[in-house]
Amino acid sequence: MDGAIGFLTFGTLGFVAAFAFISARATEKRRLEGGAKSALARGKYAKIEEEMAARRA
């Protein structure tokens, strides 16, 4: 029984680590390609650009 618990524990940790690695690679690839940003990021950057334009004027 102890062997099964250890196997399931390390299997779960391995799955999480593999999923995190794949997700990080996809995110880095999207960032380097200059892909579309999320709606939240677009809104944040639009607000920053508006504030900078107001300061320049």
Q: What are phi and psi of 24, to 5 degrees?
A: -65, -40
Domain locations in the chain? 2-56
Provide the token pair at 46: 């639009």
Has residue 25 got a pLDDT over 90?
yes
- Which amino acid is residue 12, in one-letter code? T
User: pLDDT tens for residues 31-57?
Assistant: 888 766 676 777 777 788 888 888 887
Give the whole-angstrom CA distance, residue 9 versus residue 16: 11
- In the block, which residue shows the tokens 């334009």? 53
Work out the average pLDDT over 4-26. 92
